[in-house]
Amino acid sequence: MSTSHIPVIAIDGPTASGKGTVAHRVADKLGFHYLDSGALYRLTALTALRRGTDLRDEHALAKLAEHLPCHFSNGEILLANENVTEQIRAEEVGNTASKIAVLPTVRHALVSLQLGFRKTPGLVADGRDMGTVIFPHAQLKVFLTASVPARAQRRYKQLIDKGFSANMEDLLMDLQARDERDTHRAIAPLVPAEGAHVLDTSAMTADVAVETVLKWYAAVAK
């Protein structure tokens, strides 16, 4: 059965741009389903690290991605019924996810899984290629961005609040390295989708960003 009639809001952007917070809250406001596509790469990375999978073995990583036993429930991320919401936010997992996300076979393996989140009454999907690759015909496309210092500060606060150790200088270097990988990869590079609304959240509260996205959606949903 075709799902093309089900509305999708695609929210893309670099790490720590605020897209996850904004997307989750927009989904809650609209009563839509929510897809954290970055979590799928982190789940693949976590599974690979736990199993000791060779991170150079693209085929093995793709098989892990294709058969991820995961789902999202009440703001929690479950892997084979284990709550791994906190584990996948560890820096080692994030760095590994960023590295395997450049692999074409891994990205291809996750396409069907991501498309499966499009269910009534609608979907808010956040990631790096939601509007360019996965949902190119989304009713609304948003590209959230922010300066590297602003994003590093947010990431630092997130890690400290969750009980992880963090170093600001390391975070700045890490974000710059991730941006370089994401924007220059051969497959689905991180760029604003055609027709996307670009929103710089460097000096913007989450509340304002959420209200802005909701106004944009209201305008296209008429």
DSSP 110-173: HHHHHHTT--TT-EEEEESSIIIII-TT-SEEEEEE--HHHHHHHHHHHHHHTT----HHHHHH
163 is in an annotated binding site: no
| 87 vs 47: CA distance, rounded Å | 11
Is residue 215 annotated as involved in ligand binding?
A: no
- Tally of residues, the chain: 222
18 annotated to a ligand binding site: yes
Does the annotation list 20 as a binding residue? yes
- 40: closest CA among 111, 105, 102, 104? 111
Q: Is 21 annotated as a binding residue?
A: yes
205: annotated binding-site residue? no
| Tokens 């000096």 sit on residue | 203
Which residues partner with 198 through β-bridges? Answer: 143
Q: Does 132 count as an annotated binding residue?
A: no
Binding residues: 13-21
Binding residues for ATP: 13-21
